[in-house]
Chains A and B, each alone.
Chain A
Amino acid sequence: SQTIHQWPATLVQPVGSPLSLECTVEGTSNPNLYWYRQAAGRGLQLLFYSVGIGQISSEVPQNLSASRPQDRQFILSSKKLLLSDSGFYLCAWERDRQETQYFGPGTRLLVL
């Protein structure tokens, strides 16, 4: 069976510090991978998606970037965090074009 991992689960960072969130998927190959952000009481906003190694597409211009160094690894980064980067970050995977996305447990980020 497939599993998706995210870490850390919770993170508190000062404004201006760097960020690196990691997502890995097990039990599948060549998945589509997604990063979403959820603000308190809101729906999820798609940030980045990737259909293959090194292929990153951005949906919303922002202070964040994403990378996919390996087939089942997706990383969300920032060089300098802003207060507005606080939120719940979710990674999701999907079999190619199957249209069902499966979400990880999420990372709660608080920027102070």
Chain B
Amino acid sequence: LAKTTQPISMDSYEGQEVNITCSHNNIATNDYITWYQQFPSQGPRFIIQGYKTKVTNEVASLFIPADRKSSTLSLPRVSLSDTAVYYCLVGHLLTGGGNKLTFGTGTQLKVEL
């Protein structure tokens, strides 16, 4: 299973762009990269998913280099409400169907005024 490594914490200010990088050196050919956001006492919320190059949606961008051994979540113009834990995950297909997401400890992002 691909293990992910990301910074434990990051600090930012409102209006800044935040980039969180995750390494996943042993990612397999068919694995996707997914990022989740989690607030205290809530379930993780899906942010973005990608396989290679760049993916963008209404809340974030995901940059994946050609070797796919790392990925960077980019949050444009963060606000106080973006203070949360961000998880980088690599999915692993399970025998018989399903997809195992291995969660690490995530990155605690703190946004201040």
Contact = CB atoms under 8 A, between A and B. Distances in A.
Per DSSP, chain B at the interface is loop
A7 interface: no
A99 B42 contact: no
A43 B104 contact: yes
Contacts of A103: 36, 43-45
B34 A100 contact: yes
A87 B104 CA distance: 16
A74 interface: no
Interface in B55-113: 87, 91, 93-94, 96-106
Given A88-B41, A103-B44, A97 B99 contact: yes
Contacts of B13: none
Nearest to B36: A103
Interface stretch (A44-52, A64-72, A77-85): A44-52
Interface residues of A, number: 30
B41 A94 contact: no
Contact of B46 (A41, A97, A102): A102
A40 to B, nearest CB: 10
A26 interface: no
Contacts, number: 65
Q: Which of B42, B98, B103 has the most CB of A within 10 A?
A: B98
Contacts of B93: 97
Nearest to B104: A43
Contacts of A51: 96-98
Given A57-B94, A99-B34, A43 B103 contact: yes
A53 B101 CA distance: 21
Contacts of B41: 88, 106, 108
B46 A100 contact: yes
B23 to A, nearest CB: 16
Contacts of B43: 90, 92, 103-106
Nearest to A50: B98
Contact of A32 (B49, B99, B102): B99
Interface of B: 32, 34, 36, 41-46, 49, 87, 91, 93-94, 96-106
